[in-house]
Every structure is written in C-alpha cells, then in structure tokens.
C-alpha cells in the first residue's frame, strides 16, 4: 500500500485533499497544528467511507513515528506540504510574534516535515514532494508582505530541493494557487476566488497525470 501525507488537513484544501486521495485508494497520514479533534473526526469518517488506513497527528511529522506506522512493505507516494497561515496587515503594524507565527506555519513546517519524510523517499528511490504555495509568492501582495515572503520562500525551497534530490528519483514541485475561498479570507471581500473543491481537484489532477516537471512551479489562478 502507498501513503499520502497531507499537512494542514483538518480543514480547507487539506481536508478536501484527504478525501480525494482516500477515494483514489491511498492510505493517509494527516497532520494539523491545533484542530486535532476535528482532524480525528475527519480521519474516522474517511476510514468508514473508504476503508483506508488513516493516521491523525498533531504537529509535524516525526521520523521515528513515521517508520513505525509505515512498514517495510509499504511506501510513501507523496508528501503534500499544505499547512499555511495568512496575515493581513501593513508591514509596519506586524508584530514580532505575528511574524514568528507566520514563518513557523508557512516555512518551518515545510522544512521539518520534508526533512522527516525525505530519508524514507530516498530509501524507496521514488516519491513526490508537493508544496502548496501562492501566486502572491510570485508577484507579492500589499498588506500581505510577510505571507508573500514565506510563499516566495516555499518556491525557492522547491526549486533548490528538486536539484538536490533529482538523482534519487524523487520529484519535487509546487502549485501556486490564486485566491482560494477558505477560512483565511472569510473576513475579506474578494472576487474571482477559487473554491476549495476546485483547488483540490486541480491538485489531484496535476499529480495523478504528472502534469509538471520536477522543480516546476505550476500556477492555478483566475484573473484577479
């Protein structure tokens, strides 16, 4: 059996992806930062609907725990670094605590989860690392300077890591989404947003059909 690991899976895109990949026949390892009760409820629902193994973890992936639950006859098909947090404020009004929180949620989690999973992928000599980023990491957004900075960091991380692991037969790419109608933007008026379902469908279609090159930043947006 093969596992898909999805971070930030308690709600939004991560939750939608969990159901999508379970429906495709994958076992799941799901993580979240805070909403562990909701994540466990989602995991139990997926188990009942699709009869798949589903593990719910609070926090980042631990390498030792990962090796305990994924046995030698199983492999990891893909790690999806999806966990993310937004901050809407003028740069001059962003506090150090807010800055640290966004950096930890959007960059440190990508580093820690990838580092934990990578040895297993290298041992398998196959696998995919997918980083969910944003078009704001490409073009920047007013009132979202720190968010844009972290998403740009994910893009650079993706391009650099793809070169580092290329010879291990591991693919690494990113999908830069446009404005997605999630809880992160529920208090803001936006137009031409992508729905959670549209985003999850696009991500699933892209990975299933390998519509990317390793190191590529695949954009999915509508005119804004």
For residues 161-185, give the mean pLDDT.
86
Q: 99 pLDDT exceeds 50?
A: yes
Q: 170 pLDDT exceeds 50?
A: yes
Q: Which of 223, 162, 220 is nearest to 13 (CA)?
A: 220
Q: 55 pLDDT exceeds 60?
A: yes
Q: What is the enclosing helix (H) or strand (E) of 56?
A: strand 54-58
Q: 67 pLDDT exceeds 50?
A: yes
- Lowest mean pLDDT across 12-21, 81-90, 91-100, 174-183: 174-183
pLDDT of residue 191: 54
Label residue 182 by pLDDT band (50, 70, 90).
low
- Helices (runs of H) and strands (runs of E) counted in the chain: 8, 7
Q: Are 70 and 82 in contact (CB under 8 A)?
A: no
pLDDT of residue 186: 47
Label residue 187 by pLDDT band (50, 70, 90).
very low
Q: Are 144 and 88 in contact (CB under 8 A)?
A: yes
Mean pLDDT, the chain, whole residue set:
92
Label residue 46 by pLDDT band (50, 70, 90).
very high
DSSP state of 127: -
Label residue 123 by pLDDT band (50, 70, 90).
very high
Label residue 185 by pLDDT band (50, 70, 90).
very low
pLDDT of residue 189: 47
Nearest-angstrom CA–CA distance, 41 and 30? 12
| pTM listed for this prediction | 0.92
List, by residue number, the catalytic residues. 147
pLDDT, tens digit, 9 for 90 and up, residues 127-169: 999 999 999 999 999 889 999 999 999 999 999 999 999 999 9
């Amino acid at each position: 059996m093969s596992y898909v690991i999805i971070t930030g899976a308690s709600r939004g895109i991560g939750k939608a992806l969990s159901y999508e990949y379970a429906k495709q026949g994958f076992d799941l390892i799901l993580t979240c930062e805070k909403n562990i009760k909701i994540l466990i409820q989602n995991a139990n629902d997926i188990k009942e609907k699709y009869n798949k193994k589903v593990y719910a973890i609070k926090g980042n992936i631990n390498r030792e725990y990962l090796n305990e639950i994924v046995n030698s006859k199983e492999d990891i098909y893909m790690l999806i670094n999806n966990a993310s947090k937004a901050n809407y404020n003028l740069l001059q009004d962003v506090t150090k605590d807010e800055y640290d929180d966004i950096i930890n949620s959007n960059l440190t989690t990508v580093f820690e989860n990838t580092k934990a999973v990578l040895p297993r992928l290298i041992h398998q000599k196959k696998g995919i690392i997918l980083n969910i980023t944003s078009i704001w990491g490409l073009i920047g957004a007013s009132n979202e300077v720190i968010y844009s900075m972290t998403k740009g960091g994910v893009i650079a991380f993706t391009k650099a890591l793809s070169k580092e692991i290329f010879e291990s037969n591991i693919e690494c790419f990113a999908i830069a989404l446009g404005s997605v109608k999630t809880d992160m933007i529920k208090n803001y008026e936006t137009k031409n947003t992508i729905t959670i379902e549209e985003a999850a469908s696009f991500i699933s279609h892209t990975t299933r059909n390998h519509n990317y090159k390793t190191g590529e930043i695949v954009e999915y947006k509508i005119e804004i």
